[in-house]
Amino acid sequence: MEWTGARYADTPTVAAETYIEAPPDRVWERVSDIGLMPALSSELREVRWLDGAEAPRVGGRFVGRSAHEALGDWETVSTIVECRAPHSFAWAVGDPEYPSSVWRFTLRPAGSGTVLEQWMQMGPARSGLSFAIDAMPDKEQKIVFVRLREFERGIEANLAGIKSLLEEAS
């Protein structure tokens, strides 16, 4: 990721993709399994469905508990905003109409496998990062850039983990 000079209000995004030698239906089973995500993430510690949900569907909600050495521990509620098997799975953190972030997996058939992309957008609503920006407004662009780089590394690790799970299971 190259320096963009983005500010939080710019709702900056980051994405990465990988090819997985598995059909979209099998990849979909992994990316739509919220219970798998803590095993792949360096920040996300636990997730659980809310409101009696047991499977992904638009409007379904789940709580996530995360930890980061510089940001501390926190809990968020996410709402699934897109659930089109086996094409896309997305959730908004906080208010789905004005989220603090949005995350999405997109699956595309390619040859005998699938191209899997994970994408995320910061903002527009305030998040835990907003407190760091409030404390050091002159460093906002650097704070946003550093966090985007962390998200990029996390996304790359998620994709590598999903790829490994599916290709080793073949």
In tens, the pLDDT along 85-140 reads 999 999 999 999 999 999 999 999 999 999 999 999 999 999 988 989 999 999 99
The conformational region for residue 59 under phi > 0 = left, psi -120 to 50 = alpha, else beta, is: left
CATH number assigned to the domain covering 10-169? 3.30.530.20
The 3-state secondary structure of the chain, one letter per residue: CCCCCCCHHHCCEEEEEEEECCCHHHHHHHHCCHHHHHHHCCCEEEEEECCCCCCCCCCCEEEEEEEECCCEEEEEEEEEEEEECCCEEEEEEEECCEEEEEEEEEEEEECCEEEEEEEEEECCCCCHHHHHHHHCHHHHHHHHHHHHHHHHHHHHHHHHHHHHHHHHHC
Computed from CA positions of residues 101, 56, 83, 107, in that sequence, does the dihedral angle turn out positive or negative? positive
Considering the entire predicted model, what is its pTM?
A: 0.93
Is the pLDDT at 6 greater than 70? The verdict is yes
Is the pLDDT at 80 greater than 70? The verdict is yes
Q: What band does 3 get if pLDDT is binned at 50, 70 and 90?
A: confident
The rounded mean pLDDT for the chain is 93
For residue 162, the model assigns a pLDDT of 97
The conformational region for residue 123 under phi > 0 = left, psi -120 to 50 = alpha, else beta, is: left
